[in-house]
Amino acid sequence: MSILWIVWEMFVNFAEAGMFCYLLTKILGYKKDKAIRLYLGFPLLVIFTTILNITVSNTNFVIFILLVANIIFTTVCFESNYSSRFFGDAVNQLLQLFPIQLYFMQHQYLPHMI
């Protein structure tokens, strides 16, 4: 695998994790004294997502593992009730799942329509 592909994957994962953290900080908020957890957890989430996307080929398995990782990240980094944390993770996963399903539907149904 090309090093450029890995760099591109990290860039995309950085953008996804950045949007995820921005969404969670707006929904849940965070305490300024606990911000170090967020700053340390963010790169770990990017690296973990990159490793999963490169090594595992089953998309459903990756989505499930990332849901668990996001729940752990949200539980450690944010201070609010558990239902709000889970709701933030669910919204993030739905936002990430929509383009993936759209991509697969395009490749499944579009060749038959032409």
What does the pLDDT read at residue 47?
92
* Model confidence at 26: pLDDT above 70: yes
pTM: 0.72
Write out the DSSP string of 36-76: HHHHHHHHHHHHHHHHHHHH---HHHHHHHHHHHHHHHHHH
* Model confidence at 22: pLDDT above 60: yes
What does the pLDDT read at residue 114?
55
DSSP state of 33: G
Segment 77-93 mean pLDDT: 71
Position 93 confidence tier, pLDDT thresholds 50, 70, 90: confident
Tell which wins on pLDDT, 98 or 22: 22
What does the pLDDT read at residue 110?
64
The percentage of residues in the chain with a pLDDT greater than 90, rounded to a whole number, is 4
DSSP state of 109: H
What does the pLDDT read at residue 112?
61
Please provide the average confidence, as pLDDT, over all residues in the chain: 79
How do residues 46-64 score in pLDDT, each as one tens digit?
999 889 888 988 877 888 8
Q: Is 15 exposed, middle or buried (0-12, 13-18, 19+ CB in 10 A)?
A: exposed
